[in-house]
A and B are shown apart, each in its own frame.
Chain A
Amino acid sequence: MTYFPEEVVEHIFSFLPAQRDRNTVSLVCKVWYEIERLSRRSVFVGNCYAVRAERVALRFPNVRALTVKGKPHFADFNLVPPDWGGYAGPWIEAAARGCVGLEELRMKRMVVSDESLELLSRSFPRFRALVLISCEGFSTDGLAAIASHCKLLSELDLQENEVEDRGPRWLSCFPDSCTSLVSLNFACIKGEVNAGSLERLVSRSPNLRSLRLNRSVSVDTLAKILMRTPNLEDLGTGNLTDDFQTESYFRLTSALEKCKMLRSLSGFWDASPVCLSFIYPLCAQLTGLNLSYAPTLDASDLTKMISRCVKLQRLWVLDCISDKGLQVVASSCKDLQELRVFPSDFYVAGYSAVTEEGLVAISLGCPKLNSLLYFCHQMTNAALITVAKNCPNFTRFRLCILEPGKPDVMTNQPLDEGFGAIVRECKGLRRLSISGLLTDKVFMYIGKYAKQLEMLSIAFAGDSDKGMMHVMNGCKNLRKLEIRDSPFGDAALLGNVAKYETMRSLWMSSCNVTLKGCQVLASKMPMLNIEVINEWDGSNEMEENHGELPKVEKLYVYRTTAGARDDAPNFVKIL
């Protein structure tokens, strides 16, 4: 192969888009390494601290699409203190210096500043797509820079970010010459936008396929916009309050009728039940529906709508839908692949109208189901065993019983057998979150059967170090392990140290790991960063309370080629 001209080898590599494969070929020999790195178009960095930004930019100067992820997943639930890290700055700066052909940037759980967005907007002449998910640190001024300077922008997708509102001007910054928008999602922007600017922007974007508005956009504006977007495939509505003029809603219906390509709906902010009926005509063609931000809709409102959505593949809904509502879903949505049922009450042992019954009904009616996120207030082993038999195709299974450590409600037993059935039957399971009362036995099952498992989330579970060790020794494909409030200590942490090199990261909080254990791990595995995170300086109080070794409150372990990071705050100690 080395006798072929470079262009031929490069052409052959172009049939290997997957990063894993390209990483593999680059290891064959120096020549292949060079050809591969110069022709690499897309780079995925799963942990921004696993490698230095400069190194990535140097190695892949011709990258077009860069994805970087920052904080660990549990940051979503406020378990990672603010100012922990995950800064986008170094990545944007390194790319600005070394990868001027960059066209797409995707970031998740990172801290992005307005200055970085300004730099981004000015550094890449062909830049066209910015996707920010669960990020923070920027304001609408940063968005104004992007709108103003990225002449070829086709995608601006802001999902669930914390954005400081500095007024509506950012949307007006898109120049009249900007006609290339394909996807615009500003649902997470809290403030108002100028309706006129929005209408004009949409009017001059003939390629717009996905539009997600924020809460401030009125029904009137929505109706006007939809008259201009007959090719829209995905829509996030503005608010649908019942403070309405019927006329606006009729306009809305006639506008929606024109949108024959519309397949996916979300938004429904402050949605009043009366407003839903104006959307009914669309339901038969929908494949995706997100009603999880509409707490004012009750079970009958929801089922009236969903029963019409016979082609639905993806449904996100609140638990007010109740078990009865889920039975309607099960009988109406035979193509359902992904279901997420979110809690409307965030108390630990709060009330939820969904139980194991709803889940069993879904499993009976929707055999194609492969992805589940289900918050409920009770579960049984029998139900889980039934679900596992009915739906062996699960790739993602996340069950959250609201009350930590709650047993099977019928038998008072742990839920080991139920989850055991899930991992045994669902041979393709890649992601699993477990909850309820669980002993070491469930981990024995997981280690034994969950061979494809890549990500495991554990909370308030297990009896001893053996639990965690079953997972570390058995799950061959494990990449991310996150644990909170479980009795795993140093023996578990140190039971299989080589494993951490094959994983992206380990998170442990409120467990029984001690500082000594972390130090031992650090000394054995120099290619890992061991971050000990202690939020408060109450080290004196910790001594007072016990005579034993100090326990580590939060621990984050990840493999890295970058060594200890230099941007860690003072409450993070890197061993």
Chain B
Amino acid sequence: MASLRSTSCLASASAETDAENLCATELRLGPPGVVVGEDAPAKKPSSVGAKRALESTGPSADDEHDTAAPAKAQVVGWPPVRAYRRNTFHQSSASSAAAKKSGDEQQQQQGGLYVKVSMDGAPYLRKVDLRMYKGYRELREALDLLFTKCFSASAPGTHSSEGCSDGQFAFAYEDKDGDLMLVGDVPWEMFTSSCKKLRIMKGSEAR
């Protein structure tokens, strides 16, 4: 019944520095130290995907500073918390004077802004709530999470195990006029008010 107190502090610190060094985080489905000849499609942990700096085609003016800050991504129905509890918390964070999240409350109370997201090669679309994100970085991290999770063992030829942030994909969106635009050119608020649909395109198609 070993006490794990002393070791886990060290572990989380080293995990964070490792996140910046991709080689050190190469995942194998086996005990450490054993070289596996033929890997099943190695599932990269999403912690790596979420923390590493994403290749961006737009302004990366967001706070890229600490890889320790967790990605504020939102996936429908995750974490598995009853709607009743979520709604109650939106109420209480709005009414309590000691609310930790300030600007986000207003966003959340206005209700969701769900847009469809399609990715070339993916079998079906997803939906994300744009109001859940503070900026482009969080949105990209959320999309990375959404699209790398399910498709890694499905059709061959999808580059899903590397996530959609390895530079092979471009993020585009359809605006109110129906034009296909590159994500990241305009300020975030302008983007959320004009974005109707998101599209993750294969690098070869995106000019």
Contact = CB atoms under 8 A, between A and B. Distances in A.
Are the chains A and B members of one assembly? yes
Interface of A: 74, 76-79, 134, 160-162, 188, 269-270, 292-293, 295-296, 342-344, 346-351, 355-357, 360, 364, 375, 377-378, 380, 382-383, 386, 389-390, 400, 402-407, 409-414, 433, 437, 439, 457, 459-460, 463-464, 484-487, 489, 510-512, 536, 538, 541-542, 545-546, 548, 550-551, 553
| 9 nearest A-B pairs in the assembled complex, by CB-CB distance | A77-B77, A487-B153, A349-B70, A551-B123, A410-B11, A160-B84, A348-B73, A405-B46, A407-B45
B76 A78 contact: yes
Interface string B7-23: 11001100100100000
17 contacts: A78-B77, A162-B84, A296-B92, A346-B74, A347-B70, A349-B72, A386-B2, A403-B47, A404-B145, A410-B15, A413-B31, A433-B80, A439-B43, A464-B40, A485-B149, A512-B150, A536-B116
B81 A349 contact: no
A188 B84 contact: yes
A545 B121 contact: yes
Nearest to A159: B84
A390 B27 CA distance: 30
B72 A463 contact: no
Given A377-B70, A382-B4, A405-B45, A536 B125 contact: yes
Given A296-B92, A350-B72, A510-B150, 9 more contacts: A77-B77, A77-B82, A134-B82, A134-B84, A349-B72, A360-B3, A407-B27, A485-B149, A545-B121
Given A293-B92, A378-B12, A512-B154, A348 B142 contact: yes
B39 to A, nearest CB: 11
B50 A403 contact: yes
Contacts of A76: 80, 82-83
A375 B81 CA distance: 10
Given A403-B46, A414-B29, A550 B77 contact: no
Interface stretch (B53-61, B93-101, B182-190): B93-101
Contacts of A360: 3-4
Given A270-B96, A409-B8, A413-B32, A348 B81 contact: no
A347 B116 contact: no
Given A295-B89, A541-B125, A382 B2 contact: yes
A378 B7 CA distance: 14
B198 to A, nearest CB: 12
Contacts of B27: 407, 412
Contacts of B132: 347
Contacts of B43: 405, 414, 437, 439, 463
A542 B79 contact: no
Contact of B80 (A364, A380, A459, A546): A459
A511 B89 CA distance: 31
A400 B75 CA distance: 14
A297 B119 CA distance: 43
Contacts of A464: 40, 153
B47 A269 contact: no
Contacts of B113: none
Nearest to B75: A348
Nearest to B155: A548
A541 B118 contact: yes
Contacts of A511: 150
Contact of A538 (B4, B46, B125): B125
Interface string B107-131: 0000000001011111111000000
B123 A545 contact: yes
Contact of B149 (A349, A390, A405, A489): A405
B107 to A, nearest CB: 13
B65 interface: no
Interface centre among B1, B82, B123 (most CB of A within 10 A): B123
Contacts of B95: 270
B85 interface: yes
Contact of B72 (A347, A389, A400, A404): A347
Contacts of B120: 545
A486 B76 CA distance: 15
B2 A404 contact: no
B25 interface: yes
Contact of A553 (B41, B74, B124, B152): B124
B102 interface: no
A377 B84 CA distance: 22
B25 to A, nearest CB: 7
Nearest to B90: A346
A495 B31 CA distance: 30
A542 B123 contact: yes
B86 interface: yes
A538 B149 contact: no
A406 B19 CA distance: 13
A411 B11 CA distance: 8
B207 interface: no
B69 to A, nearest CB: 9
B82 A348 contact: no
B116 A538 contact: yes
B73 A347 contact: yes
A459 B78 contact: yes
Contacts of A382: 2, 4
B145 A348 contact: yes
A290 to B, nearest CB: 12
A57 B176 CA distance: 54
A551 B124 contact: yes
Interface centre among A346, A463, A487 (most CB of B within 10 A): A346
A421 to B, nearest CB: 13
A555 to B, nearest CB: 12
Contact of B4 (A74, A380, A437, A536): A380
Given A134-B84, A343-B79, A343-B81, A542 B150 contact: no
A349 B50 contact: yes
Nearest to A162: B84
